[in-house]
Amino acid sequence: MECEYTGPNVPLRQGDIIAAHPSTGAWANPWTRFGIVLSADCDLANGKTGPNLLYLPAVGHAFFLGTVWRNEQSKELERKAKPAVEKMLNEYGAADKYRALTYWAEQGGTARQIEELERLKKATDIKISAKEIVDLWDADQAIQKLSAIGYGSTAIDERKALDELFALKQKLERTRYDEDRRRSTLEQALDSLRHRTDTWLIRELQGLDPEMHSGSEYGLVVPLRMISALPAGAIVLDRAEWYSDPTKYLRICRLRGIYKTDLLQKFSNLFVRIGLDDHRDEEHQRVFKRLATFLTRGDAI
């Protein structure tokens, strides 16, 4: 669809898609398995790329959801979790007791936390149980750990990673994430990849050996912020040469012209911004305020 086969006699160009050999560590790492050459055609043609070529990684949709999207969701949950715990503690008349919960956990675990909270609860008539607060605190601790996890450099069990996220979402959002809700959430997340400013999608690749389809069966995501580099001599164009030296990358195909243009346009829009005079916004606001006054009161402009 987006790609076309390119023979070994055609020079390397921007938009060419490269692949690591399945026997290497670069293949085992989803972030370095496939890439799209980003260095400019003129630099490639004239040997002016310097010691390295720039490329953008292309990873499977499931891996992207299990790493990047999960990390984003975790950080969003983390921003909400602690205030939710503190709100419950305030109803107990226990302001600023979040750190105390941590201390009690260190001293005696969940039992100590519940014991101390029950003691505070005796002075109130609220219906929130100590266990509810401790469960929410536990979920907050877990989501902090989850959001601190990087994207990693090895393949993961995507379903397990997402199950872990949904279990925490269920606790923190107090919403049941059954199979239908999970599927709907994932469908929305996948569909959003088409509209995000920092991702570009590939439906299928060409030029893959049979053992190279793992992870790309459902297409690939190109994260536009994750610019990477390879040594200039690390890419070969001839498959026979690649078989004899699997440490190299092979150019397997290239993006068709219109798709290459679309990718580069989206990449440019993400990073290129024209700086304008800040006073221009202030002038617009003054004009808008005067016009709104005229339209509501009829005063002269």
The answer to whether the CB of 156 falls within 8 A of the CB of 66 is yes
In this structure, the answer to whether residues 87 and 169 fall within a common structural domain is: yes
**CATH number of the domain enclosing 265:** 2.30.30.110
What is the predicted pLDDT for the residue at 59? 95
CA dihedral 92, 96, 102, 108 (to 10 degrees): -50
What is the predicted pLDDT for the residue at 254? 96
pTM: 0.79
CA–CA separation, 297 vs 294, rounded Å?
A: 5
As given in the structure block, the two tokens for residue 281 are: 């916004």
pLDDT tens, residue order, the chain (301 aa): 899 999 999 999 999 999 999 999 999 999 999 999 999 999 898 888 889 999 999 999 999 999 999 989 888 888 888 888 777 777 666 556 777 778 888 888 888 888 877 777 766 666 777 787 888 888 888 887 777 776 666 777 889 889 988 988 888 887 889 999 999 999 999 999 999 999 999 999 999 999 998 778 889 999 999 999 999 899 999 999 999 999 999 999 999 999 999 999 999 998 876 655 567 777 778 888 888 888 887 765 5
In this structure, the answer to whether residues 80 and 50 fall within a common structural domain is: no
Nearest to 25 by CA among 251, 205, 247: 247
Nearest to 202 by CA among 9, 27, 21, 33: 33
As given in the structure block, the two tokens for residue 220 are: 């690939």
Q: Which residue range forms the structural domain that includes residue 156?
A: 63-173
Task: DSSP letter for 206, please.
Answer: S
**Residue 289 lies inside a defined structural domain of this protein:** no
What is the predicted pLDDT for the residue at 268? 92
**Residue 184 lies inside a defined structural domain of this protein:** no
- At residue 79, the 3 state secondary structure works out as helix
In this structure, the answer to whether residues 111 and 212 fall within a common structural domain is: no
In this structure, the answer to whether residues 84 and 138 fall within a common structural domain is: yes
The total of structural domains in the chain comes to 2
CA–CA separation, 35 vs 221, rounded Å?
A: 11
Nearest to 34 by CA among 256, 233, 204, 271: 204
CA–CA separation, 187 vs 253, rounded Å?
A: 29
In this structure, the answer to whether residues 169 and 67 fall within a common structural domain is: yes
- Count of positions (residues) in the chain: 301
In this structure, the answer to whether residues 164 and 95 fall within a common structural domain is: yes
Which of the listed residues 173, 204, 224 is the one where a domain comes to its end? 173
* Beta bridge partners of residue 57, listed in sequence order: 35
HSE toward the beta carbon, residue 290, CA cutoff 13 A: 7
**Residue 187 lies inside a defined structural domain of this protein:** no
**Residue 276 lies inside a defined structural domain of this protein:** no
> What are the φ/ψ torsions at residue 7 (nearest 5 degrees)?
-70, 165
Number of H helices, E strands in the chain: 11, 10
As given in the structure block, the two tokens for residue 282 are: 């202030």
In this structure, the answer to whether residues 119 and 168 fall within a common structural domain is: yes
What is the rounded end-to-end Cα distance, in angstroms, of the chain?
57
CA–CA separation, 240 vs 83, rounded Å?
A: 59
In this structure, the answer to whether residues 108 and 207 fall within a common structural domain is: no
